[in-house]
Structure 1
Amino acid sequence: MRARRDVYQAIADPTRRAIISMIADQPHNVNTIAEKFDVSRQAISLHVQILTDCGLIAIKQVGRERFCEAQLDQLSEVSVWVDQFRQHFENKLDALETYLEKLKKERYGKPKK
């Protein structure tokens, strides 16, 4: 029995992220995808299988060709997760900005009008 994979496992690998980017606008066959990478076709097939298991790619059989089509709805899960931390980082940046303004005033004094 194969372990259930999730979208985070899929995007953890740079090759899989590149494959997603490559097919986001237009489906490509597996051979075309494999030609773009300096790894074996078998390695690309494994990446494609992981992306399929995670629901980020659908395979469409057209004659003898297998086309990979992006199914990006699953990425909304990642967006929601990242948004949880966005406010934290915005607060940190606001605090840094306030601190830098304070340093500037201490160093250069109040601006003249």
Structure 2
Amino acid sequence: MKKIVTFFLLSCLLVGCGLYQTAQVDKISLGMNKQEVLSYLKSGYGKARTASARKLDDGSLEESIELTENYDKYTFIFIDGILSEWYTVDIRTYIPPAPIIQSTTSSETK
């Protein structure tokens, strides 16, 4: 019984101390550099990852970073290390495309 109570109290303490913290996206604004944004994206649910990077025609580097937390997918787009755009998608609203159904019926009638 003591072990159960101890485990319960320890669990409450860890959760209460913010072990499972969420990303602080409300502190992120356009014009911030990549390191500042990444410091706010520390989350107990996942890790921000580079989704894509490409060189633009003018020679600048465009990089996108994604973080999925609960039902929100955050996408941050940086140009030369400066945040130029970001958006959030609720992944519960994503509807996958309908499957293609192949018809095997013959068009000939007897």
TM over 0.5: no
Higher helix share: 1
TM-score, normalised with respect to structure 1: 0.27
Of structures 1 and 2, the one scoring higher in RCO (CA 8 A, sep 6+) is 1
Higher strand share: 2
